Amino acid sequence: MDDLEKLKAAVRGKRIHLFGPPGCGKGNRSKDLQALGLIHVASGIALRAKVRDDPDSELSKTARDVMERGGLVPDAIVVPVVMAHLERPECRERGFVLDGFPRTKAQADLLFSKADLDLVLHLEVPRKFLVYGVVEGARRACAACAAGYSDFDPPRVEGLCDRCGGEIVSRADDNAETIDRRLDGYDAETKAFLPDLEARGIVEVLPITVGDDEEIDEGYLKKLRGEVYWVETDDGTKARMLNLDGMRERLYRFLAEKFA
C-alpha cells in the first residue's frame, strides 16, 4: 500500500467490528487496523480498563471478583462496560476495532441497540481450511504482543516476534479436538446472529482464501515473504490462502476502496 497516510486519514474515526471464527486471523487483522491508528477494543481490555480507572464502582468490584475467580463476567456487566469504553474520547476521535465481541446473540442485541458501527468485517474461511490451517500450520503467538504466526507465516527469525522482538510460544489449546469444539461453539452462539447484522446492511465479507479464477497482482506478490500457500485437506479439497502480508494488503485495499 503506497498511500498509507491517505488510508490512515480515510479510516480515522471509523467504528469497525471484526467478525469471524477462531483462527481466522482476527488478532492479526486487529494489529493491521491498529497500525492505521484505530484503537483495539476487546471485552477483556474494556473490563481491565474499567477496574483500573474506576476501582470503587460496584461494576468494577463485581467484575474484579469474577475475573479473580477465573469466571465468565456476565453480560449485564460486560456489555455496559464495553459500550462505555467505546465512548472514550480516544475511541470516538480515532475510531476503534472491536475484536471478538459481541460473542453471543444476547450481547449483540444489547450492544447494537445502542452502538452504531460503520462496518462489520466478516473474515470468511471454510471450516475445513480453518482446522487444517490452525493445526497443520502449528499456529503460535508472541507472548508479549499476541501477534500470530504459523508455518505458513513464520517470523523472520524463528522464535522472535517480527513486530516487537518478544518470545513466540505455541498455543497450548490448538489441537484438532479443541478447535472443533470451539468452532461448534462459534457456529451455535456467534455465527447465529450474523443474519441480524446483515439485515442492518453493514456486513462486508473479506475472504481469506483466494479463488481459482482470482488474479493476484504479481507486482505486489514480489513484496510478500511467503506469497500465497496451498492448503489441501483430507478430502482432497485445495485452496490458496493468503499469508500475513497478503491479508494485510487485501484488507488495506478493501478499506481504501470502501472509505476513500
CA distance 250 to 103: 25
Of 63 and 168, which CB lies nearer to Zn ion in the complex structure? 168
d(CA 11, CA 33): 9
**Catalytic one among 127, 128, 182, 240?**
182
- 8 in catalytic set: no
Among 86, 131, 161, 197, binds Zn ion (CB under 5 A): 161
- Beta strand residue intervals within the chain, DSSP E: 15-19, 39-41, 96-99, 119-124, 140-142, 148-149, 168-170, 203-207, 209-210, 228-232, 238-242
* Listed ranges 110-118, 133-141, 157-165, 181-189: which one lies at the site for Zn ion (CB under 5 A): 157-165
User: Helices 43-53 and 58-68: crossing angle, nearest 10°?
Assistant: 120
Burial class (CB in 10 A: 0-12, 13-18, 19+), 90: exposed
- For Zn ion, the binding residue among 77, 86, 142, 210 (CB under 5 A) is 142
Q: Which is nearer to Zn ion, 129 or 152 (CB)?
A: 152
Specify the residue for cell string 500500500.
1
- Using the structure block, give the residue that is written with the C-alpha cell 474484579: 64
Residue 163 makes contact with Zn ion by CB under 5 A: yes
Residue 34 in contact with Zn ion, rule: CB under 5 A: no
CB of 27 to Zn ion, least distance (A): 11
Q: Which stretch binds Zn ion (CB under 5 A): 21-29, 69-77, 107-115, 144-152?
A: 144-152
Q: What is residue 160's DSSP assignment?
A: B
For residues 82 and 101, the answer to whether their CB atoms sit within 8 Å is yes
Q: Does 147 interact with Zn ion (rule: CB under 5 A)?
A: yes
Closer residue to Zn ion in complex, CB, 14/29: 29
Q: Binder to Zn ion among 9, 76, 145, 160 (CB under 5 A)? A: 145
Catalytic residue among 14, 31, 139, 140: 139
Instruction: Give yes or no: 103 in active site.
Output: yes
Distance between CA 29 and CA 31 in Å, rounded?
5
Q: Any idea of the CA torsion for 109, 259, 86, 115, to the nearest 10 degrees?
A: -30
Among 13, 44, 126, 166, the residue binding Zn ion under the rule CB under 5 A is: 166
How many chain residues touch Zn ion (CB under 5 A)?
8
The question of whether 139 is a catalytic residue gets the answer: yes
Q: Name the helix (H) or strand (E) containing 63.
A: helix 58-68
Give me the catalytic one of 8, 48, 171, 253.
171
* Residue 143 binds Zn ion (CB under 5 A): no
Q: Is 168 a binder of Zn ion (CB under 5 A)?
A: no
The single residue among 157, 164, 169, 221 that binds Zn ion, judged by CB under 5 A, is 164
Select from 207, 49, 200, 191 the least CA-distant residue to 125.
207
Catalytic residues: 26, 103, 139, 171, 182
Applying CB under 5 A, the residues found at the interface with Zn ion are 142, 144-145, 147, 161, 163-164, 166
